[in-house]
Amino acid sequence: MSTDTLMHHRYRPIVVGAGPSGLAVAASLHQLSVPAVVVEKSDGIASLWRHRTYDRLNLHLPKAFCQLPHLPFPAHFPEYLSRDQFLDYLHAYSAHFSLCPLFSCEVVDARFDRAASLWRVTTVRRSPYDLPVVEHLASPWLVVSTGENAEAVWPEVKGLKGFEGSVLHSSEYKSGKEFKSKKVLVVGCGNSGMEICVDLCDHGALPFLSVRNEVHVLPRKMLGVSTFGLAIKLLQWLPTRMVDKFLVIMAKMIIGDTEKFGLKRPKLGPLELKNTIGKTPVLDVGACSLIKSGKIKIVREVEALTNNGARFVDGEEMEFDSDMDLLSAEGKPKNEFPSGCQGGEGGIYFVGFSGKGLLGSSADAIKTALHISEAWKRLSKNKNKDILPL
C-alpha cells in the first residue's frame, strides 16, 4: 500500500468482514459521517451466503425483521426472501452507502498498541499478478464481524472416521439432487436440518433426522401473520410466559402435537428458552407434514457410527446401504466471542455474534456506530489532521 493510501485509511474504524453485520456497521458509521475501512478475506460480499448455503434457502423471518439499518428492502420483494434476493439486496446496500470493501484482504495480525492507544492491523492482499501484498492499518477502533458461522464445526460422533459412507457438513450442502434414492442421516433438528430434510424429500431421498435435544417447532404463521411478528406485538402487552403458552397452544392446533411424532417440547417456552440460553425455535417449512406421513423418519441421538450404519442412544441400530450419507446440520462454533457489541480494550467490538440473527446484528451495528462516533467526534476536536476524515 502506498503512503498516500495508508494515510487515507489511517485512524478510520477498521471493520473486519463484509457480510451483513460488517456492512451494517459500516453503513451506520457512514450515516454518522464516520468513514470506515472494511476488509474482507474472500473475493466478494457475504461469502458465507454465496458459498455455504443451500440452493432452496429462504429467510425464516419476514423481511421486516431482516433488513439492515437505514435501507429497507424493495417494496416488490416477497415477505420471505430467497437467498439470491438477499444477496442482491446486500450488493445494492453496499453500493448505496459507497462502502467499497477491500476484497481478498486477509487479516493476519491485529495487536493493540498500548502506548499509542491504537489497533495495528496487518493484512495480506493478492495483487493483480497474484503476488501477496502486505498492508498495515492503524485505528483506535476495531470491529470484528466475521460471523458466528464462519467456520464449519463438526459435532463429536464416535466412529466418524471409520464410517464408509460419504460425510457432508450442512454448509457444503447445495441440493438434494445428488442424494436421490439414498438414505441420508441428518444430524441436528434446527431450522437448517428441518429445511434440508424437506429438500431431500423433494428430490427423492430418504432422510432420517437424528434428534438429540427437545425442540420447539412453531408454524411460520399464526392468525394470518408471521409468528415472530405476532410474538413481538404480544410482548408489548403480555409477560413472556403468557405469550409462550399462547404460542405453544396455537402450534399444537396448527401443526399438531409434535411429541407424538418424536419431537419433544422443552419445559421452558420458546421465547423464554431463547432469552435464557439462546436456543432458537424451529419454524416449520413443511417438515412436520412430511414427518407425519413417514417421508422423514425421526431417530434418536447418534451414539456411534458403524462401518455402514449407526447405533442410537436408545440401543437401536440401523443398517444402511454402503452409499448412505451422513449430513451434519448441528455443528456450531464455540462461543469464543462476547455477545452483543460491547467495546473492549482499545475499542474492540464484536458484531454478529449475539445469536439473535439479522435483527440483533442490526441493532448491535447501530449501537457500535454510535459509540465509535462519539469517540470520533472527541478526537476530531483535537484538530489533529491525522485523525480527521481525509
pLDDT digit string, tens, across residues 295-329 = 999 999 888 888 878 888 888 888 764 344 555 55
Helix (H, G, I), strand (E, B) or coil at 37: strand
Gap between the Cα atoms of 56 and 58, Å rounded: 6
pLDDT in tens, 127-136: 777 778 899 9
Residues 6+ apart with CB under 8 A from 248: 216, 265, 269, 270
Q: Which is higher by pLDDT, 380 or 35?
A: 35
Is residue 377 within 8 A of residue 386, CB to CB? The reply is: no
What is the rounded average pLDDT of the residues 129-153?
Answer: 81
- Beta strands 217-219; 282-284: pairing state: parallel
Q: Got the DSSP string for 256-295?
A: --GGGGT-PPPSS-HHHHHHHH-PPPEEESSHHHHHHTTS
Q: Count other Cβ atoms within 10 Å, centred on residue 71.
A: 16
Q: What percent of the chain has pLDDT over 90?
A: 53
Say which range, 19-33, 125-139, 256-270, has the weakest mean pLDDT.
125-139
The vertex-4 CA angle with 346 and 44, nearest 5°, equals 70
- Residue 327, beta-bridge partner list: 168, 186
Question: What confidence score (pLDDT) does residue 150 get?
Answer: 55
pLDDT tens digits, 24-69: 999 999 999 999 999 999 999 999 888 878 888 888 889 999 999 9
Cα 98 to Cα 106, 151, 330, 366, distances in angstroms: 21, 28, 37, 18
> Could you tell me which residues come within 8 angstroms of residue 185 by beta carbon, excluding any fewer than 6 positions away?
207, 208, 210, 299, 302, 310, 320, 324, 325, 326, 327
Residue 78 has which C-alpha cell? Answer: 416477497
Q: Which of 248, 267, 266, 245 is nearest to 256 (CA)?
A: 248
Residue given cell 442490526 in the structure block:
362
Indicate whether 111 pLDDT > 60.
Answer: yes
Architecture of domain 166-328: 3-Layer(bba) Sandwich (3.50)
Question: Considering only CA atoms, which of 179, 132, 134, 153 is closest in space to residue 335?
Answer: 153
pLDDT band at residue 156 using 50, 70 and 90 as cut-offs: low
| 347-366 tens-digit pLDDT | 899 998 877 788 889 999 99
Q: Name the superfamily (CATH) of residues 3-150+334-387.
A: FAD/NAD(P)-binding domain (3.50.50.60)
pLDDT computed for residue 336 by the predictor:
44
What's the whole-number average pLDDT of the chain?
Answer: 85
The answer to whether the CB of 12 falls within 8 A of the CB of 35 is yes
Q: Is the pLDDT of residue 331 over 50?
A: no
pLDDT-based confidence at residue 384 (cuts at 50, 70, 90):
low
Of 1-15, 89-103, 210-224, the range with the lowest mean pLDDT is 1-15
For residues 150 and 272, the model is more confident at 272
Per-residue pLDDT band for 189 (boundaries 50, 70, 90) equals: confident
DSSP 329-372: S-------S-STT---TTSEEE-S-SSSHHHHHHHHHHHHHHHH
Q: Is the pLDDT at 123 greater than 60, yes or no?
A: yes
Between vectors from CA 339 to CA 29 and to CA 151, what angle results, nearest 5°? 90
Q: What is the predicted pLDDT for the residue at 147?
A: 73
C-beta atoms surrounding 185 within 10 Å: 25
Cα–Cα distance for residue pair 329/190, rounded to 1 Å? 8
**Of 91 and 277, the one with more pLDDT:** 91
Q: What pLDDT shows up at residue 277?
A: 81
CA distance 388 to 377: 9
The reported pLDDT for the residue numbered 328 is 52
Strands 225-226 and 206-210: unpaired
Q: 322, exposed or middle or buried, with CB in 10 Å at 0-12, 13-18, 19+? A: exposed
Per-residue pLDDT at 295: 96
Contact between 216 and 270 under an 8 Å Cβ cutoff? The reply is yes
Residues of the chain with CATH 3.50.50.60: 3-150+334-387, 166-328
Checking if the pLDDT of 9 tops 70, the result is no
The yes-or-no verdict on residue 200 having pLDDT over 90 is yes
pLDDT at residue 7 greater than cutoff 50: no
The pTM assigned to this predicted structure is 0.80
Residue 333 has pLDDT above 90, yes or no: no
- What is the pLDDT at residue 323? 42
